[in-house]
Amino acid sequence: MPTRKLGGTLEVSALGLGCMVMSGIYGPPRDKQPADKQEMIRVIHTAVDRGVTFFDSAELYGPLSNEELLAEALAPIRDKVVIATKFGYFGNPGLQPVLDSRPEKIKASVEGSLKRLRTDVIDLYYQHRVDPNVPIEDVAGTVKDLIRQGKVKHFGLSEPGLETLRRAHAEQPVTAVQNEFSILWREPETAVLPTLEELGIGLVAYTPLGGGFLTGTIHEGTQFPTTDFRSRVPRLSAEALKTNMALVVLLRDWARRKEASPAQVALAWLLSRKPWIVAIPGTTQLPHLEENLGAVAVTFTAGELHQIDTAASAVVVQGDRLPPASMALTRREAPPRR
SS3 sequence, the chain? CCEEEECCCEEEECECEECHHHHCCECCCHHHCHHHHHHHHHHHHHHHHCCCCEEECCCCCCCCHHHHHHHHHHHHHHHHCEEEEEECEECCCCCCCEECCCHHHHHHHHHHHHHHHCCCCEEEEEECCCCCCCCHHHHHHHHHHHHHCCCEEEEEEECECHHHHHHHHHHCCEEEEEEECCCCCCHHHCCHHHHHHHHCCEEEEECCCHHHHHHCCCCCCCCCCCCEHHHHCHHHCHHHHHHHHHHHHHHHHHHHHHCCCHHHHHHHHHHHHCCCEEECCCCCCHHHHHHHHHHHHCCCCHHHHHHHHHHHHCCCCCCCCCCHHHHCCCCECCCCCC
- We report the CATH number of the domain holding residue 210 as 3.20.20.100
> Is 280 within the bounds of a domain?
yes
The amino acid occupying position 269 is: W
Number of domains present in the structure of the chain? 1
Q: Round to whole Å and give the CA distance between 208 and 321.
A: 12
> Is 332 within the bounds of a domain?
no
Q: What is the pLDDT of residue 23?
A: 86
> Is 336 within the bounds of a domain?
no
pLDDT tens digits, 286-310: 999 999 999 999 999 999 999 999 9
Is residue 184 within 8 A of residue 313, CB to CB? The reply is no
Residue 306 Ramachandran class (φ > 0 left, ψ -120 to 50 alpha, else beta): alpha
Residue 89 annotated among the catalytic residues of the structure: no
> Is 137 within the bounds of a domain?
yes
Domain that holds residue 144: 3-327
> Is 278 within the bounds of a domain?
yes
> Is 335 within the bounds of a domain?
no
> Is 171 within the bounds of a domain?
yes
Q: What is the pLDDT of residue 220?
A: 87
pLDDT tens digits, 70-101: 999 999 999 999 999 999 998 765 567 799 99
Q: Round to whole Å and give the CA distance between 248 and 274.
A: 23
Low-confidence ranges of the chain (pLDDT < 50): none
Q: What is the pLDDT of residue 226?
A: 86
**For the chain, what's the residue count?**
338
Q: Round to whole Å and give the CA distance between 88 and 206.
A: 18
Write the CB contacts of 213 (distance below 8 Å, at least 6 apart in sequence): 184, 235, 236, 244, 248
Query: Which residue in the list 26, 61, 125, 126 is annotated as catalytic?
Result: 61
> Is 222 within the bounds of a domain?
yes
